Amino acid sequence: MAVSFQSDPDAGVVVATCTGALGESDAKAGASEFWEHPEWRERPVVWDFRAATFDVDPSAIRSLAKFILDRQPSEPPPCVAFVTGRDVDFGLSRMFQTYREDPRTKFWTFRDFDEAVAWARSQGSTRA
């Protein structure tokens, strides 16, 4: 899996674009790479998985969510959006959304990229 990050300072949103097969270790590495940028910590993030495929067993979703909750910065992003292209990935994202619940972060899964970015922009300045 490859991930690239693009920060839009005017919109206040970070877009993480992922390509290829995405396994559990890839997801952990991508989150860790995002956290390495302290200037992004309190900004909304849109994870674009439309060019990726999830290669994760549904039973691993809970442990991945726990990894995120246990290791995220003390001030996590105010909102996180996932954008998926396949039905199975959308379902896995919704499972992750349920397990990853944190009152400090709004989280939603989308099928449309522009809708996800608009949502992240609108949520970015308000904490849950």
pLDDT in tens, the chain (128 residues): 789 999 877 778 999 999 999 999 999 999 999 999 888 878 999 999 999 999 999 889 999 999 999 999 888 899 999 999 999 999 999 999 999 999 999 999 999 999 999 999 998 654 44
Domain ranges within the chain, ordered by starting residue? 2-123
- Quote the pTM value: 0.90
CATH topology assigned to domain 2-123: Rossmann fold (3.40.50)
Q: Radius of gyration over alpha carbons of the chain, in Å?
A: 13
3-state SS, residue 14: strand
